């Protein structure tokens, strides 16, 4: 459940509350499958770039499995390594 954030001009406004409200809304949307994997990956990429990290650090194993399954555009250098499927493993 999200709360109403005070007006940005208000002395009670705390930007951390606004970020928290937005994050909670995103988590709720993803949990309800209202945010698609494409939207989720785009968000993870944006945050990763701002943080100087790789996208893979912001996705769950389930998200990464879906990226592989959907054959999404993925750059291992920028986004990080994807889990290898059984088909990709080399025989001993």
Nearest CA to 80 out of 63, 91, 36, 24 is that of: 63
Q: For residue 57, what are its two tokens? A: 């650090």
Res 1 pLDDT > 50 = no
* Torsion angle in degrees (nearest 10) through CA of 14, 16, 19, 21: -70
- Do 78 and 55 form a contact (C-beta atoms < 8 A)? yes
Pick 22 or 47 by higher pLDDT.
47
* % the chain with pLDDT above 70: 78
Mean pLDDT calculated for residue range 15-36? 76
Mean pLDDT calculated for residue range 26-35? 78
Pick 5 or 16 by higher pLDDT.
16
Pick 35 or 54 by higher pLDDT.
54
């Amino acid at each position: 459940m999200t709360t109403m954030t005070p007006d940005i001009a208000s002395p009670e406004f705390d930007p951390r509350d606004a970020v928290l409200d937005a994050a909670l809304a995103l988590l709720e949307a993803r949990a309800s499958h209202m945010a698609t994997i494409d939207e989720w990956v785009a968000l993870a990429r944006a945050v990763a770039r701002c943080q100087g990290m790789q996208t893979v650090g912001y996705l769950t194993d389930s998200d990464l499995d879906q990226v592989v399954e959907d054959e999404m555009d993925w750059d291992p250098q920028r986004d990080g390594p994807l889990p290898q499927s059984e088909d990709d493993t080399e025989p001993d």
